[in-house]
Amino acid sequence: MIKNIIFLGGLMIMGCESSQNEFQVNIHGELRKIMHGGAREGLVLLSDVIKEKHVYGVGALEGLDGEILIWDSKPILTKAKKGGEASLSMDANSEKALLLVSAKIKEWSETSFNGTTIESSLNDYIYNTAKSKGLNPEEPFPFILESVFPLVKWHIISDPGLGGTHDDHMNKSWNQTDKNRIGKILGFYSIKHHAIFTHHSTNSHMHYLDGKSGLSGHVDDLVLGENVILRLPK
């Protein structure tokens, strides 16, 4: 099995779009402004985002008060405080995103692979597979991973305040480690959006959907096993 890199909590920028692919990636919010500039005001109503069919997205709620996953226009909103119970809602009415990256994808292609055969990083594998499928990997695009994951470390963000390191922020959030769990991961890949919707150390921003609890949160660490399915926009 190959251990993937660590990713930072859900966060992003306003008004960007992809080009040269047949879909648009819409981005609201900016990681650096949230974590270092104190931005907390919601930028877009989730009810407006999911009016259209086949919308997929990840992000964080207004006030940095939880995580957003949109799966085929169905919102999955999770909130939690460190040491408390996580709550799940699918009611997007009146909810705003502090940050959100989304795209409308009608069809997905499927590539099955064995995680142990990746000779480079998962980021590189996704880039190369996207290129082989006719996508422009120089522009942002969404992807899906489906598997029984040997290990997923993930969190639900709550406002950590200003300053501090990435570890400080994670220590103040609700954290979970799942082993050998059926789940899905929705991610957005970009080589251009560091400190906007990806952390400096990675090209991917991923949210995990736990197949058992239905809860969702931001992926911090991931171990791939066998029989992994990668889905990319068709």
Distance CA 105, CA 110 (A): 14
pTM summary value: 0.88
CA 72 to CA 85: how far, in whole Å? 26
Q: Phi-psi region for residue 106, left (φ > 0), alpha (ψ -120 to 50) or beta?
A: alpha
How far is it, in rounded angstroms, from Cα 17 to Cα 24? 6
pLDDT computed for residue 5 by the predictor: 33
DSSP-assigned beta bridge partners for residue 75: 70
- Provide the pLDDT for residue 2: 35
pLDDT of residue 165: 64
pLDDT digits (tens, 9 = 90+) for 161-220: 776 666 677 778 999 999 999 999 999 999 999 888 998 788 999 999 999 999 999 999
Which helix (H) or strand (E) segment holds residue 97: the answer is: strand 96-104
Could you report the per-residue pLDDT of 40-90, keeping only the tens digit for each?
Answer: 999 999 999 999 999 999 999 999 999 999 999 999 999 999 989 999 999
Place 228 in a pLDDT band, splitting at 50, 70 and 90: very high
Whether 133 has a pLDDT exceeding 50, the answer reads yes
